[in-house]
Amino acid sequence: MRAGAFRAEAPVAPILSVRGLTKRYGGRVGCEDVGFDLYPGEVMGIVGESGSGKSTLLNCLAGHLRPDAGEVLFDLGKDGMRDTLALSEPERRRLARTDWAFVHQNPRDGLRMTVSAGGNVGERLMAVGARNYGAIRASALDWLGRVEIAADRIDDRPAAFSGGMQQRLQIARNLVTGPRLVFMDEPTGGLDVSVQARLLDLLRGLVRDMGLSAVIVTHDLAVVRLLAHRLMVMKGGRVVETGLTDQVLDDPQHGYTQLLVSSVLQV
């Protein structure tokens, strides 16, 4: 699970390569001059306090916000590395529903609350052309099983689900088309600790089994400790420290990282 096992393989090309990404809100800095490479199968954690620009960065990467400068290169397979900011809108949206996935902090932002769980999972399949009800339903059942939602809840609406179930449903809905890159914005935010633990366990299993690459934004260091191979610490829109997760958390170099690590309550 740790980055070392992955690193031992032959050198591979990054799946996502970010260069000089800058986003300003008028005179204020959203994020500034951020750059990193993400390799296939790797999970990158982005931590920092509220307002440090981590969500801005994630939204820029996922194409929800248009950065003012920089480039986001994504490995499109046969087309090679392409700047997703230069893609046409149809291309970018196709990417967003096939190769990419975005897990929102609040499941209500990522789910259709008036559509049944099965319909939520099936939507991406139908969006890429699935037209066989039986097959769509079978895949929905399969995915509900994988995220530990009972099969008899398939026709229930997400409004009837607990927060943890909604979040798991959102994950199933995103992963059903087999994306290669997942963006997660505080996936465990607002969940109690035991539910968080189960969700993290689930995510870790899915990431490993599917060979997903992921960018996870969180302010919860325990989440990145469990999930992320590498860590990027942000402050005031800038990256102040990067490195392997254990290295950054166990031997923080930057003053802010030291503060962050020492702020965690030890139970």
Partner 1 sequence: MTQAEIRGEAPGADYTFAYLDEQTKRMIRRALLKALAVPGYQVPFASREMPMPYGWGTGGVQVSAAVLTPEDTLKVIDQGADDTTNAVSIRKFFQKTAGIAVTEHTGEATVIQTRHRIPEAPLTEGQILVYQVPIPEPLRFLEPRETETRRMHALEEYGLMHVKLYEDIARHGEIATAYAYPVKIEGRYVMDPSPIPKFDNPKLRMAAIQLFGAGREQRIYALPPYTEVVSLDFEDHPFVPGKAEGACALCGSETSYLDEVIVDDRGGRMFVCSDTDYCAGRRAAGYRGEMAAEEGGA
CB of 254 to partner 1, least distance (A): 41
Closer to partner 1 at the Cβ: 97 or 238?
97
* Residue with smaller CB distance to partner 1, 136 or 260: 136
To partner 1, the closest distance from the beta carbon of 88 in angstroms equals 10
At 229, give phi and psi (nearest 5°): -80, -45
Shortest distance, CB of residue 236 to partner 1, whole angstroms? 33
Of 155 and 201, which CB lies nearer to partner 1 in the complex structure? 155
CB of 46 to partner 1, least distance (A): 28
What tokens does 59 get?
């939204």
Least distance in angstroms from the C-beta of 176 to partner 1: 12
Residue 137 or residue 198: which is nearer to partner 1 going by CB?
137
At residue 89's C-alpha, the angle toward residues 84 and 92, to 5°, is: 40
Q: Which of 52, 92, 12, 79 is nearest to 218 (CA)?
A: 52
Give exposure, 144-176, as e/b (b: 16+ Cβ within 10 Å). bebbebeeebbebbbeebeebbbbbbbbbbbbb
**Closest approach of partner 1 to the CB of residue 124, in Å:** 8
Query: Which residues would be at the binding site for partner 1 (CB under 8 A)?
Result: 89-90, 93, 97, 112, 115-116, 118-119, 122-124, 126-128, 131-134, 136-137, 154-155
Contact 187, 177 (CB under 8 A): no
Looking only at the bridges linking them, the beta strands covering 28-38 and 16-25 are: antiparallel
Q: Which is nearer to partner 1, 97 or 204 (CB)?
A: 97
User: Are 229 and 43 within 8 A, CB to CB?
Assistant: yes
Q: Which is nearer to partner 1, 130 or 195 (CB)?
A: 130
- Chain Cα centroid distance, residue 218: 10
Alpha helices (H) along 52-110: 54-61, 89-98, 107-110
Q: How far is the CB of 259 from partner 1 (least distance, A)?
A: 42
CA distances from 244 to 180, 206, 231 (A): 21, 21, 6
Nearer to partner 1, 11 or 129 (CB): 129
